């Protein structure tokens, strides 16, 4: 997957991934990405409320943005996440 290849090539501050994707899902992408960069912050997007609840339980610090959302909501979430200090 291109995202994982990119994460191996250079550091990123934030991973934005849809939870439900063909092939590898967003949760697995974040697991593998966190092995490379433990400080990587994650924002999941999803249109499935049950999946969002599961992601919150499984990926404690990850944020979840439910579809549909307004672009301003995405921008606000990204800004808030990036303003947080890395633990």
Q: Can you list the domains of the chain with their CATH numbers? A: 13-83 (3.40.50.2300)
Report the phi/psi class of residue 65: left, alpha or beta, with left for phi > 0 and alpha for psi in -120 to 50. beta
pLDDT tens, residue by residue, 63-82: 889 889 999 999 999 999 99
Torsion of CA 48, 51, 31, 78, to 10 degrees: 50
pLDDT tens, residue by residue, 3-58: 888 999 998 999 999 988 888 888 889 889 999 998 999 999 988 766 656 655 66
């Amino acid at each position: 997957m291109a995202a994982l290849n990119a994460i191996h090539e250079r550091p990123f501050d934030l991973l934005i991934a849809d939870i439900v994707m063909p092939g590898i899902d967003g949760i697995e992408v974040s697991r593998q990405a966190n092995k490379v960069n433990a400080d990587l912050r994650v924002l999941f997007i999803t249109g499935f409320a049950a999946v969002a609840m599961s992601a919150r339980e499984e990926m404690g610090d990850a944020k979840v943005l439910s579809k549909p959302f307004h672009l301003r909501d995405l921008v606000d979430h990204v800004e808030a996440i990036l303003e947080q200090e890395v633990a």
